[in-house]
Amino acid sequence: MKWLHKDLLDVSQLSRPEVMAIFETAGRFQELQERPVKKVPTLKGRSVILFFAEPSTRTKTSFDVAGKRLSADTFSLTKSSSSLIKGETLKDTALTLQAMAPDAIVMRHWCSGAARFLSRRVECSVINAGDGRHAHPTQALLDSFTLHQEWGEVAGKTILILGDIAHSRVARSNVLLLTMLGARVRLCAPRTLLPPAARSWPVTVYSDLNEAVRGVDAVMCLRLQLERQQDGLLPDLREYARTYGLGPRHVELARPEVKILHPGPINRGVEINSELADCADSLILDQVSSGVVVRMALLFLYMTRKGEM
């Protein structure tokens, strides 16, 4: 197999064998996490620009850690510290970054399609760290990798994605990837938080959480994007938590040892009961650990092994 991709813009670009190759590479990097010195010289002399026009804790930090553990030089650029805040266009920002000759740009932007726009104007690899409501491919990869490590195989499992699906790039990317890997995917959300297109996706849609959770192997809760609620999509947060917040009574309807995931940040007591978030079957912190090794694998593959895999 040859690694032919210049950029990672969406999981739809990847084949199943390529996804498994990413998982295999990430698995090799897991051993590094246990060493006293968590660093290898793989990307020494290479440079990665972390271009985050939207706030991020987990994604930005894990890419930063991933780059540094591979000995790459990482440089952070945010909206508040860039000329975007002065009115500079994304095209001019792209040309400026290209002139600095980085080896990769990791980009998060509020506009859907921004990563693709950038990728067409720079010669280096562009990795999409979230663009608008469109896609978050690295989150989907780390979510599936976490489940793959837990179960050994995602195919045949039933996974429920619960919450604010309308505003979630994470949900869309996970639907694409999990179904590619052979999982059965369910969605559950209030009608106002379910995009019309969802009914054409290869999923089963529920509005009743008690029905949606029956017999599932994993529940992936999504952050309720409170900043969007000024649009009047929900009448009351307390009512949302009562009807769609994952609680112990729901876990009893799922399969034994049902796994619980959340991409973070968590609104405890709204999307998920706090005790469930911290329980033995919660994989939320495993997702954070997986984020580092999956992003190490992506930087490694996209920056050093193009055409050589």
- Pick from 300, 305, 299, 298: nearest CA to 19: 298
The CATH number of 11-135+290-304 is 3.40.50.1370
Write out the H or E segment, with its range, that includes residue 95: helix 90-99
Query: Tokens 């969605």 correspond to what residue?
Result: 187
Query: Which two structure tokens, joined as six digits, stand for 150?
Result: 């837990």
Asked whether residue 136 is marked as a ligand-binding residue, the answer is: yes
Return d(Cα 152, Cα 5) in angstroms, integer: 26
Neighbours of 297 (CB within 10 A): 24
Query: Tokens 């992003």 correspond to what residue?
Result: 295
Return d(Cα 146, Cα 160) in angstroms, integer: 15
**Is the CB of residue 284 less than 8 Å from the CB of residue 264?**
yes
* pLDDT tens per residue across span 170-196: 999 999 999 999 999 999 999 889 988
Asked whether residue 152 is marked as a ligand-binding residue, the answer is: no
Q: What is the three-class DSSP state of 75?
A: strand
* pLDDT tens per residue across span 214-229: 999 999 999 987 665 5
In terms of residues, how long is the chain? 309
pLDDT value for 309: 39
Asked whether residue 287 is marked as a ligand-binding residue, the answer is: no
The per-residue b/e assignment along 100-137, b for 16 or more CB within 10 angstroms, e otherwise, is: eebbbbbbbbeeeebbbbbbeebebbbbbbbbbbbbbb
- Matching fold, domains 11-135+290-304 and 137-287: yes
Asked whether residue 58 is marked as a ligand-binding residue, the answer is: yes
pTM of the model: 0.93
Asked whether residue 225 is marked as a ligand-binding residue, the answer is: no
* pLDDT tens per residue across span 235-269: 678 888 999 999 999 999 999 999 999 999 999 99
Q: What is the 3-state secondary structure (H, E, C) of 102-138?
A: CCEEEEEECCCCHHHHHHCCCCCEEEEEEECCCECHH
- Pick from 163, 129, 130: nearest CA to 261: 163
* pLDDT tens per residue across span 26-60: 999 999 988 999 999 999 999 999 999 888 889 99
Asked whether residue 169 is marked as a ligand-binding residue, the answer is: yes
The CATH number of 137-287 is 3.40.50.1370
- Pick from 3, 23, 43: nearest CA to 290: 23
DSSP strand pairing (104-109 vs 47-52):
parallel
Domain ranges within the chain, ordered by starting residue: 11-135+290-304, 137-287
